[in-house]
Amino acid sequence: MKKLINDPSNMLADSLVGVAAAHPELNVDHVNRIIYRGEKTKAGKVALISGGGSGHEPLHGGFVGLGMLDAACAGEVFTSPTPDQMQEATKVVDSGAGVLHIVKNYTGDVMNFEMAAELAEAESGIKVESVVTNDDVAVEDSTWTAGRRGVGVTVLLEKIVGAAAEEGRDLASIADLARRVNAAGRSMGMALTSCTVPAAGKPTFDLPEDMMEMGVGIHGEPGRHRVPLAGAASIAQQLVEPILADLDFTGGATIVMLNGMGGSPLIELYLMYGEVKKILDKARVTVARNLVGNYITSLDMAGCSVTLLKADEEFLKLWDAPVNTAGLRWGV
Amino acid sequence: MKKLINDPSNMLADSLVGVAAAHPELNVDHVNRIIYRGEKTKAGKVALISGGGSGHEPLHGGFVGLGMLDAACAGEVFTSPTPDQMQEATKVVDSGAGVLHIVKNYTGDVMNFEMAAELAEAESGIKVESVVTNDDVAVEDSTWTAGRRGVGVTVLLEKIVGAAAEEGRDLASIADLARRVNAAGRSMGMALTSCTVPAAGKPTFDLPEDMMEMGVGIHGEPGRHRVPLAGAASIAQQLVEPILADLDFTGGATIVMLNGMGGSPLIELYLMYGEVKKILDKARVTVARNLVGNYITSLDMAGCSVTLLKADEEFLKLWDAPVNTAGLRWGV
């Protein structure tokens, strides 16, 4: 295993030291492993929290800041954070207007965020709403999930709903918006290579040199099928077709994310975006906005995912609103 | 070879299609393989051009836009662009105030940019100045270089000098500033794995599972020495010590870049930044600004580089000025 780490069991703690050093504008709670904005939630603003296992950076810590999250709870690599972490974050960020939990659909995350919400409500009287993202069309149930997995839409949702929270909307309408964003998004990913979890020290799965995994999960969970290695145009087709088969994206605007899994360089991601765009043009899907880069990764996995989000005027306006985080920044 | 590409010989052309699709705010000349800003250089503004072999993205195309470059010439992977490309870009971006060529110190780049400057001056009467970056402390001469190689400082230089050009400074003072930035910066890189050039189809060099290459070049050129694989703290030490031995960074402000080589995920880069910061704190180097991420890459190479730049008040003010590019964005 070749990684830029010290002791594999300290990877998360060591990386948070780096995050704190690189971003003095954030508050990093090293004991509870929570990344906060530098300033307290302003009165009347609904606070947004997300979190999950580490290894998906910049998700979620890289999306803490103006216009996105108020806090992110970091679990160990590919391991859910604890209810204690989530409860602590909920208490710290609540300004009295309530807190939205943004949860990717994995069994541990869902269970722990539910427990944290109950505890925060019971012990501190904090109003908590939750949205569970489940945009991955690859599989209906998986190793770690009942139902579809939550993947790329989580990034777009944190941006759009984060902007709405800055406007001072109330918790019920924020939660409603979050559910509408999730319902309008679909994703599909693929892997050229496995990732290697530091504590395991070896690749999560074996993938022959002439094969690729279509529909892979962000922890290296099995996808739909293993198929022969193909060119970028074919890969794009195999990613976009299942998405378009699942939801009609014609007749309106779409936000597209071409996301890298962590080990694929930017030149390949742009090349893939070009192939995806050709397919969308042919399918009469109108791309209004796009992101190309590493946003929800799987450690050092080589590969990519495609996320499409049907975006009405409201979504686009919130998408364009200012955002100031390590992972996404514009308008500021 | 596992890559998100079609025909390896079309990698650059295919990726430029993606860049054009993702960034409607840019003008991509697919024939000449030049990326321009969407708007012509305003009268009186010195134009900045850079370029080089592809495979280092976001460098240079990702740094075209307000506050950085006016154009970037893309060569084939790890291959210098031609004098024709550079001459064409020079003619297109000149507003009459002249053009600065920002050239990384590699034999082909230096020769071709020189020829382009002479042709643009002789045929079109355009004033051209050039700065050659040579910040890599690893080796004095290399496979592809007489003298030191130009690496990470190029990114910081394009940002700082780009901001000065927006202020309307004249060509002589822009060129002087560029040379001062280059003189104040030092870098050192390392590889955990080789990159694979698509046209070659196999790794550029062999690196055993228990070894790493210290001082590696951005094309996989040999570094100072091959040493046993070590932890992040030791790697940071082996990168920072040669830099501090080469130039005194105490007694002022420093801009630090922890750069990924393309195949290393962000969690590892933050972890490395934490280790680098500890060493700089101990050495009484004051970090005023930092960048952590993939800025000057080597295709899919796993590894990282450290760049330090001594920054006076002028450099910091220009660093903080607005920038609006695909690869760096703030203040807008």
User: What's the pLDDT tens digit per position in B75-98?
Assistant: 999 999 999 999 999 999 999 999
B219 is catalytic: yes
pLDDT class of A288 with cuts at 50, 70, 90:
very high
Tell me the mean pLDDT in the region A102-120: 97
Is pLDDT at B141 greater than 80 in this prediction?
no
Q: How far is CA A316 from CA A100, A181, A251, B74, in A?
A: 21, 11, 15, 33
Whether residues A268 and B7 touch (CB distance < 8 A) is answered with no
pLDDT value at position B245?
Answer: 97
Residue A312: phi and psi, rounded to 5, are -85, 180
Of B3, B266, B297, the CB nearest to A266: B297
In single-letter form, the type of residue at position B152 comes to G
Per the CB < 8 A criterion, the answer to whether A280 and A193 are in contact is no
Which residues is B330 bridged to in the sheet? Answer: B323
Is pLDDT at A145 greater than 90 in this prediction?
no
pLDDT tens digit sequence for A18-75: 999 999 999 999 999 999 999 999 999 999 999 999 999 999 999 999 999 999 999 9
**Interatomic CA distance for residues B36 and B75, integer angstroms:** 15
- Cα A147 from chain centroid? 17
Specify the length of chain A in residues.
Answer: 332
Tell me the mean pLDDT in the region B63-76: 98
- Residue in B with minimal Cα distance to A270: B18
- Report the C-alpha dihedral over residues B193, B197, B201, B207, rounded to 10 degrees: -20
Residue A124: Cβ within 10 Å count: 12
Q: How far is CA A189 from CA A150, A183, A227, in A?
A: 12, 18, 13
pLDDT value at position B146?
Answer: 79
- Cα B103 from chain centroid? 9
Average pLDDT over chain B, rounded to whole? 97
Per the CB < 8 A criterion, the answer to whether B298 and B56 are in contact is yes
pLDDT value at position A60?
Answer: 97
**Interatomic CA distance for residues A159 and A306, integer angstroms:** 17
- Residue in A with minimal Cα distance to B258: A22
Tell me the mean pLDDT in the region B164-182: 98
Name the catalytic one among B23, B60, B101, B219.
B219
In single-letter form, the type of residue at position B37 comes to R
Residues of chain A with Cβ-Cβ distance to B331 below 8 Å are 332
Q: Is A297 on the interface with B (CB under 8 A)?
A: yes
A56 is catalytic: yes
**Interatomic CA distance for residues A191 and A220, integer angstroms:** 8
pLDDT tens digit sequence for B17-38: 999 999 999 999 999 999 999 9
Per the CB < 8 A criterion, the answer to whether B86 and B113 are in contact is yes
Sign of the Cα pseudo-torsion (B109, B50, B82, B307, in order)? positive
Is pLDDT at A146 greater than 90 in this prediction?
no
pLDDT value at position A222?
Answer: 86
Task: Write the DSSP string, A12-38.
Answer: HHHHHHHHHHH-TTEEEETTTTEEEES
Ramachandran class of B205: left when φ > 0, alpha when ψ lies in -120 to 50, beta otherwise = beta
**Interatomic CA distance for residues A301 and A290, integer angstroms:** 22
A/B interface, count of CB pairs below 8 Å: 189
pLDDT tens digit sequence for B114-140: 999 999 999 999 999 999 999 999 988
Task: Render the burial of A197-216: b for 16+ CB within 10 Å, e for the rest.
Answer: bbeeeebbeebeeeebbbbb
In single-letter form, the type of residue at position A9 comes to S
Q: Is A11 on the interface with B (CB under 8 A)?
A: yes
Q: Is B211 on the interface with A (CB under 8 A)?
A: no
Whether residues A267 and B232 touch (CB distance < 8 A) is answered with no
- Residue that has been written with the tokens 């930017």 in this structure: A266
Per the CB < 8 A criterion, the answer to whether B328 and B68 are in contact is yes
pLDDT value at position A73?
Answer: 98
Instruction: Give the closest-approach CA distance of A330 to chain B in angstroms.
Output: 6
Q: Is A19 on the interface with B (CB under 8 A)?
A: yes
pLDDT class of B258 with cuts at 50, 70, 90:
very high
Per the CB < 8 A criterion, the answer to whether A15 and A50 are in contact is no
pLDDT value at position B144?
Answer: 72
Is pLDDT at B165 greater than 80 in this prediction?
yes
Average pLDDT over chain A, rounded to whole? 97
pLDDT value at position B140?
Answer: 85
Q: Is A182 on the interface with B (CB under 8 A)?
A: no
Query: Could you tell me which of B307, B109, B112, B113 has the C-alpha nearest to residue B219?
Result: B109
Structure tokens that stand for A145 in this block: 């999930």
Sign of the Cα pseudo-torsion (B286, B288, B290, B296, in order)? negative
Tell me the mean pLDDT in the region B253-260: 98
State the pairing for strand pair A71-77/A34-37.
antiparallel
**Interatomic CA distance for residues A164 and A319, integer angstroms:** 9
Instruction: Give the closest-approach CA distance of B50 to chain A in angstroms.
Output: 17
Whether residues A4 and B266 touch (CB distance < 8 A) is answered with no
pLDDT value at position B231?
Answer: 98
Which residues is B191 bridged to in the sheet? Answer: B213, B303
Task: Render the burial of A22-35: b for 16+ CB within 10 Å, e for the rest.
Answer: bbeebbbbeebbbb
- 0.95 exceeded by pTM: yes
Question: For a pLDDT cut of 70, what percent of chain B falls above it?
Answer: 100
Element (H, E) at B238: helix B232-246
pLDDT tens digit sequence for A167-187: 999 999 999 999 999 999 999
- Report angle CA B30, B120, B90 to the nearest 5 degrees: 40
Residue B138: Cβ within 10 Å count: 26
DSSP state of A325: S
Q: How far is CA A308 from CA A152, A162, A253, B197, B301, in A?
A: 9, 19, 10, 31, 30
